[in-house]
Amino acid sequence: MHINPSVVLVQTQLPENIGAAARAMLNFGLTDLRLVSPRDGWPNKRAYDLAAHAGKVLDDAKLFSSVSEAVADCTRVYAATARAREMVKPVFTPAQAMESMHASCEPTAWLFGPERTGLSNDDVALADAIITIPAHAEFTSLNVGQSVVVLAYQYFALHKNSASSYPTTGPEASPVGSKSPLASKQELQVFFNRLEKELDDVDFWKVDDKKPKMWLNLRNIFSRAGLTEQEVRTLHGVIAELKRGRSSD
Amino acid sequence: MHINPSVVLVQTQLPENIGAAARAMLNFGLTDLRLVSPRDGWPNKRAYDLAAHAGKVLDDAKLFSSVSEAVADCTRVYAATARAREMVKPVFTPAQAMESMHASCEPTAWLFGPERTGLSNDDVALADAIITIPAHAEFTSLNVGQSVVVLAYQYFALHKNSASSYPTTGPEASPVGSKSPLASKQELQVFFNRLEKELDDVDFWKVDDKKPKMWLNLRNIFSRAGLTEQEVRTLHGVIAELKRGRSSD
């Protein structure tokens, strides 16, 4: 069974952009809208004015206070950003992303950042991959509502047109040979929390200033790997055993 | 020489939609905007508010009183409409239209109708072909600004890709954002040897029979992640510190 992607709008400043996103979503068959701390509160009349026929998408929108909560039940997360990041993550065009998504059939979320700043590095770190919409070199910054239009359109266009002609495995499909489903973002977060605590305990970071960047890089290794549930359990085991070994010395 | 298409907005009711269209145009490298009798007059501040960085596109917009004047210098005209018409004209998806456009290199215009009614049959009659954006069967009516987004995006995506200037990033490409080169297989092996020894020391595998499969799965996590040299160093650090923490207990 195929699951349509969720659209996650992070700290959107203008309710009009939320409304425009909802309208475009419904045009292209998407209905699961998630809002992380919209600046002007929620619900908001200005969003409804722009949503036209898509008021129901806004009625059903779910509200979250953090990105990690918003994507907790997803196994694939894409961050829409035009900025190059100092992060080791695959970068896809919308068409490439939709092709890989089509092959995977997993609960998927797309993240869109606030108008002024875009997604923070911490938010991007939660993603498995980046989607960058190809644009004119001097004007790469798309309006957030228009970015949703592009991704939703591209998703719908590939799905409608592909009609079973698509390969069933792809680079982004769950790891070949794996029988375990991909870990949810929540399972990954629990693992990250444990790893962080363990590294804190042994003063891994040495210099406090360096921790944010080091910890970001470390999480990126694991979020990039597309871990299965079984693999997350294995990694929990690795930490538990290393710790047990330590305390029994 | 290639000529970028002109965007012709016919009797647009909301200046905001003209501004949004201009913004999307510039993002995707289009600059020739033509307005046929915009309802609220021209120029209009509300359009500029929405155009963001694309005010220049609005400054340069040409004003016409009829569609036929607006497209007089074009040799290919596409009408963007979702409604089936009683007219014998080819109907393209955006992708198909952009491909045929690319092949033609002729002065081309795209027509977009007013919000409430869409293009009149007389306007569509002026076009060589129809572009219909694929959309959900029950919600086929796109906002006019969002329709411009879709066509401009699709145009740019196909052009950039065909021009071969677009970076072929993907799962096979070296992770973008990385400054450190990918770790060599040898560096990875050294890391694996160390991790294995450490896990042996704490009797991680419990049952010897299970080790080969468990160890394979564990290595797969890291080989799949496409680690950089810097990341391998970081992971060495994690092991070293966990071990140091252990022996100092």
For the stretch A12-52, pLDDT in tens is: 999 999 999 999 999 999 999 999 999 999 999 999 999 99
Enumerate the residues of chain A whose CB falls inside 8 A of the CB of residue B93. 157, 161
Asked whether the beta carbons of residue A93 and residue B217 sit closer than 8 angstroms, the reply is no
The DSSP 8-state label assigned to residue A35 in this structure reads E
B201 pLDDT band, cuts 50/70/90, is confident
What is the C-alpha to C-alpha distance for residues B80 and B133, in angstroms, rounded to an integer? 8
Q: What is the pLDDT of residues B62-113, one digit of tens each?
A: 999 999 999 998 888 999 998 877 777 789 999 999 887 766 677 899 999 9
- Residue A244, pLDDT > 80, answer no
Question: Where does the pLDDT of residue A147 fall: very low under 50, low under 70, confident under 90, or very high at 90 and above?
Answer: very high
Of B54, B176, B221, the CB nearest to A225: B221
Mean pLDDT of B9-14: 98
B28/A234 CB distance under 8 A = no
What is the residue-wise DSSP string for B46-105? HHHHHHGGGHHHHHT-EEESSHHHHTTT-SEEEEE-SS--SS---EE-HHHHHHHHHHH-
Cα separation, A91 vs A78, in Å, equals 9
Q: What is the mean pLDDT of chain B?
A: 84
Angstroms from B224 CA to nearest CA on chain A: 6
Amino acid at A28: F
Distances in Å between the Cα of A233 and the Cα atoms of A71, A182, A215, B218, B224 are 20, 12, 20, 11, 17
Among A27, A142, A221, whose Cβ lies nearest the Cβ of B142?
Answer: A27
User: Maximum CA pair distance of chain A?
Assistant: 66
pLDDT at A179: 58
Q: Which of A49, A139, A249 to mutate to test the interface with B (most CBs of B within 10 A)?
A: A139
Question: What does the DSSP assignment read for B147-189?
Answer: HHHHHHHHHHHHHHHHTT-S---STTSPPBT--SPBPPHHHHH
Q: Closest chain A residue to B217 measured between Cα atoms?
A: A231
Chosen from A27, A57, A78, A215 to mutate, greatest number of chain B CBs within 10 A: A27
CB distance B96 to B147 below 8 Å: no
Residue A152 tokens, joined: 């939703």
**Residue B197 reports pLDDT greater than 50:** yes
pLDDT in tens, A169-210: 333 333 334 457 888 888 889 999 999 998 998 888 888 888
SS3 B34: strand
pTM of the model: 0.76
Strands (DSSP E) found in A15-85: 33-36, 62-64, 76-80
- For residue A233, the one-letter residue type is R
Residues in B touching A93 (Cβ below 8 Å): 157, 166, 169
Task: Give chain A's mean pLDDT.
Answer: 85
Q: Looking at chain B, which residue has its C-alpha nearest residue A227? A: B221
Tokens of B119: 């293009």
Q: Name which of A36-40, B42-46, B237-241 the model is least confident about.
A: B237-241
| CA dihedral sign, ordered B103, B108, B113, B114 | positive
Query: Average pLDDT of A57-83?
Result: 95
8 Å CB contact of A146 and B23:
yes
**What is the interface size between A and B, counted as CB pairs within 8 Å?**
204
Angle at B214 between CA B212 and CA B215, to 5 degrees: 65
Taking contacts as CB-CB distances below 8 angstroms, the residues of chain B near A247 are 246, 249
pLDDT, position A178: 46
Tens digits of residue pLDDT in B143-164: 999 999 999 999 999 876 443 3
Q: Tell me the nearest-neighbour CA distance from A127 into chain B, angstroms.
A: 14
Interface test with chain A among B138, B153, B198, by most A beta carbons within 10 Å: B153
Residue A135 to residue B156, Cβ atoms within 8 A: yes
